[in-house]
Amino acid sequence: MYRAVRAVRSGSTGYLRVSKYFSVPRGTLERYVKDKTPSPEELVYMNLGRKTVLPSELENKRLEYCIIMDQKYYGLRCQDIKRKNA
């Protein structure tokens, strides 16, 4: 995506040719090129998708708990993890 955005922003080729060459959806490429705020380097580290429901601290605590329980050979079901209060 980084190279595709750079190619279009440099003006050497158009959206359609770049999207086919880099196998990137044309609509996504257009959105990233038109949004001048993030630089192409920042696009690599952008979080995509939906935002998480829980704060990252709580998610990290639950992840550590699951890893510890896995190391102790205590299997957890999804229901157990959802009920876990941290």
Instruction: Judge if 40 and 54 occupy the same domain.
Output: no
User: Which two structure tokens, joined as six digits, stand for 78?
Assistant: 């999804």
Those residues whose C-beta lies under 8 Å from the C-beta of residue 29, and which sit 6 or more positions away, are 1, 4, 5, 8, 15, 18, 19
How many domains are there within the chain?
Answer: 2
Instruction: Judge if 55 and 33 occupy the same domain.
Output: no
> What is the pLDDT at residue 64?
92
Q: What is the mean pLDDT of residues 15-31?
A: 88
Instruction: Judge if 19 and 34 occupy the same domain.
Output: yes
**Where is 68: in which H helix or E strand?**
helix 56-71
Q: Are 18 and 29 in contact (CB under 8 A)?
A: yes
Q: What is the mean pLDDT of residues 37-61?
A: 77
What's the pTM value of the predicted model, to 2 decimals?
Answer: 0.44
Range of the domain at 63: 50-86
Q: What is the mean pLDDT of residues 10-35?
A: 86
Instruction: Judge if 54 and 39 occupy the same domain.
Output: no
User: Cα(2)–Cα(40) distance, rounded to whole angstroms?
Assistant: 5
What percent of the chain is modeled with pLDDT above 90? 7
**Residue 39 phi, psi dihedral angles, 5° rounding:** -75, 165
User: Cα(34)–Cα(74) distance, rounded to whole angstroms?
Assistant: 50
pLDDT of residue 37 exceeding 70, the answer is: no
CATH of the domain at 11: 1.10.10
Q: What is the mean pLDDT of residues 47-70?
A: 85
